[in-house]
Amino acid sequence: MRGSTKRGRRGFTLIELVIVISMILVLLSIALPMYNRSILRAKEATLHHNLVTLNKAIQEYSANKNKAPQAPEDLVPEYIKFIPDDITGRTDTWVWEQEDPQNAWDPNQTGIGSVHSGSKDVSTEGSEYSSWNH
């Protein structure tokens, strides 16, 4: 009768492990796209904020100096601390638009009128980031 006594069960059966792993995978397949989407929305919010900040700095510079900035570096450090990153994560992808010569602060010396992203990627709203001009 020595072999007939039951000891307490130890560990999990293979089917229990498969079920638990399957449930974890289902939860991950739901959570991961939501997480990625929230990261993208945060990057888009940062892009929007950076566009507003840069364009406001350009306008303030122009109003104070009665001429548009000639280069992005003219804005630093008096109007902004540094040139922020574009949605690409780099500062060299910004597209600095020249001001309209007809409406220039100084028609003899046109400068930067506005800025927008240089990214051709499509946003969650369906438009290219480069078309954002906040």
Q: Which residue has the tokens 């929007």?
A: 48
pLDDT (0 to 100) of residue 107: 84
CA dihedral 45, 49, 52, 53 (to 10 degrees): -170
pLDDT (0 to 100) of residue 1: 46
pLDDT (0 to 100) of residue 106: 84
pTM of the model: 0.78
- What six digits make up the tokens of 47? 């892009």
Do 125 and 110 touch, CB atoms closer than 8 A? Answer: no
pLDDT (0 to 100) of residue 7: 60
Regions in the chain scoring below 50 on pLDDT: 1, 4
